[in-house]
Amino acid sequence: MIRLAPPDPFNLYSGPITHWVILVVAMVAVIFVILTGAAYTVWFERIELGHMQRRPGPNRVGPWGLMQLAADGVKLVFKESFAPRDVDRILYVLAPAIMVLAAFLAWAVIPIGLSNGFTYWIANLNIGILLVFAVSSMNAYAILLGGWASNSKYSLLGGLRAAAQLISYEMALGLSLVPVFMIVGSLRLSDIANYTVHWGPYSGPLPLVILAPVSFVIYIIAAVAETNRTPFDLPEAEQELVGGYLTEYSGLKFVCFYLGEYVNMITVSALASLLFFAGWHPAFGPFAWVSFLVKVILFLFLYIWLRTTLPRLRYDQLMRLGWKVLLPLALANVVVTAVVLVAVQ
């Protein structure tokens, strides 16, 4: 819901009807914004990949190729929604639905500072970040079920890889953020983004990456693995597994998986900016959202940059990095942060 700085002058939030009206409008708005954002993330990725490979990227449809995704979307929607003969019908349809649902559900708790003292959110849960983790783990179900239901060897292999990968990196991802919670003392995302310090002459919001740099590094690595992006894109590994769990999907169901992947990318980028880079601070008057948007775009660029630079990890390397490097590092990070916090107090 949208909250104003002088809280609620017209009693809109507590009104029985206006409450729901505002809620629905906010939900529709966020879905629209995220859908558009995902489409332009794809465009941004293709342009940046193109430039880094010394070619222009999409530039045919609309100015600078900006309408490319509309054209692709129309093409995909009108494609035959083909399903192989022996698929498990229910799970085959359920998997892409879970993917999209989980991807959008995370945005229920992500706050966006629009301008000074004017913050957007749908639900300002006191366990916000836990909900994001819970929901983002559902991706594993989507990919695993999609791989299983397709009744194809490639899909099954992709799905199994995805399940193992997501479980391995979920641990490191969750643990990497524990120091942040300990420093801030809250799981509420808006509290973390608004974290302020009073250090001598400086008094104001502080990007938590300064206090928890190790957490940030682990988070970034685990988040890339969590969203199945290169160099951790083993579940779809097109050279070995055709398309992994995506192999038997086409048309709208393929769009759902594809969309889910890019929405997840935006979600983890938004989380990284909220958790480690003070979200919408510094807020330039009514342009706080610009500050947030720039950070999200920079993180998306980092993703694309990594994709164009790094080759895919081998499966044993992936597992070794997750369990033998990131997890112990995250645990040690929690312990060290706890000790330092106690010592400082």
Per-residue b or e along 144-156, where b marks 16 or more CB atoms closer than 10 Å to that residue's CB: bbbbbbbebebbb
Residue 214: CB minimum distance to other proteins, A: 13
With a CB cutoff of 8 Å and minimum separation 6, the contacts of 118 are 2, 3, 4, 5, 288
Q: Are 192 and 186 in contact (CB under 8 A)?
A: yes
Q: How far apart are CA 235 and CA 243, in angstroms?
A: 8
Q: Which of 17, 54, 202, 316 binds other proteins (CB under 8 A)?
A: 54
Please check whether residue 99 is in contact with residue 260, taking contact to mean a CB–CB distance below 8 angstroms.
yes
User: Whose Cβ is closer to other proteins: residue 55's or residue 198's?
Assistant: 55
Which span sits near other proteins by CB under 8 A: 55-63, 154-162, 172-180, 182-190? 55-63
**What minimum distance in Å lies between the beta carbon of 52 and other proteins?**
5
Residue 126 binds other proteins, judged by CB under 8 A? no
Which residues fall within 8 angstroms of residue 20, CB to CB, at 6 or more apart?
Answer: none
Our finding on whether 97 is near other proteins (CB under 8 A) is no
- Looking at the DSSP bridge assignments, the partners of residue 197 are 204
Q: Is 51 near other proteins (CB under 8 A)?
A: yes
Assess 63 for contact with other proteins (CB under 8 A): no
Helices (H), the chain: 18-52, 68-77, 89-105, 128-136, 138-149, 153-184, 189-193, 213-226, 238-241, 251-276, 288-309, 315-320, 327-344
Structure tokens at 20: 């729901």
First and final C-alpha spacing in the chain: 36
Which tokens hold the place of 112? Answer: 């966006």
Backbone φ and ψ for 198, nearest 5 degrees, come out as -125, 85
In the complex, what is the shortest distance from the CB of residue 167 to other proteins, in angstroms, rounded to a whole number?
Answer: 25
How many angstroms separate the CA atoms of 197 and 281, rounded? 13
The 300-329 site mask, x for binding other proteins (CB under 8 A), equals -----xx-xxx-------------------
Q: Among 15, 56, 117, 328, which residue sits at the site for other proteins (rule: CB under 8 A)?
A: 56
Tell me the closest approach of the beta carbon of residue 53 to other proteins, in angstroms.
7
For the bound state, the minimum distance from the C-beta of residue 60 to other proteins, rounded and expressed in Å, comes to 9
Judged by beta carbon, residue 51 or residue 153, the one nearer other proteins is 51
Q: 18-52 vs 251-276: helix axis angle to the nearest 10? A: 100
Among the listed residues 2, 22, 59, 174, the single contact to other proteins using CB under 8 A: 59
Q: For other proteins, which is the closer residue by CB, 22 or 66? A: 66
- Residue closer to other proteins, measured from CB, 68 or 291: 68
53 touching other proteins, by CB under 8 A: yes
Stretch binding other proteins (CB under 8 A), from 53-61, 187-195, 247-255, 288-296: 53-61
| Site size toward other proteins, by CB under 8 A | 13
User: Exposed, middle or buried, 85 (CB in 10 Å: 0-12/13-18/19+)?
Assistant: exposed
Among 2, 12, 35, 52, the residue binding other proteins under the rule CB under 8 A is 52
Binding region for other proteins (CB under 8 A): 48, 51-56, 59, 305-306, 308-310
